[in-house]
Amino acid sequence: MAVPWLAVGKLVLANLDTVIGVVKPAFTRKKVEALPSQTDLLNEQIAELQAAASGNAEQIKQLAAQLKEVVTAVEQAAASAASERRILRRLCLAAMAISVVSIVAVIASIIGR
């Protein structure tokens, strides 16, 4: 059961730089001496924001695909664990039945003496 969580941890760590890059974008700061007019600065900032928004949309799409893979893996692990639990339950019931039969046999042998 720990294996799927290990896979999730590796997935998160592998994409940590991408997540940090999305969270902390570098936009143009106001440079009074660099641009002659406020309109040029605003146009540049708008273009950067639009580029960042489209980049974020693409990264969100990729993260959603990865999340879908993780959910599928977790579902498979849950189905496997449920199957193993059913098998163990049957083994435990069989062991209890054998124990009851042996207790009855011991009691019968004690009474038969």
Number of independent structural domains in the chain: 1
- pLDDT value of position 79: 93
Closest by alpha carbon to 20, among 59, 54, 51?
A: 59
**CB–CB of 9/89 below 8 Å?**
no
- pLDDT value of position 105: 96
- pLDDT value of position 26: 59
- pLDDT value of position 23: 59
Tell me the average confidence (pLDDT) per consecutive run of 10 residues in the chain, 113 residues long: 63 68 59 66 86 87 90 92 96 98 96 87
Range of the domain at 65: 2-112
Distances in Å between the Cα of 66 and the Cα atoms of 25, 43, 70, 75 are 22, 35, 6, 14
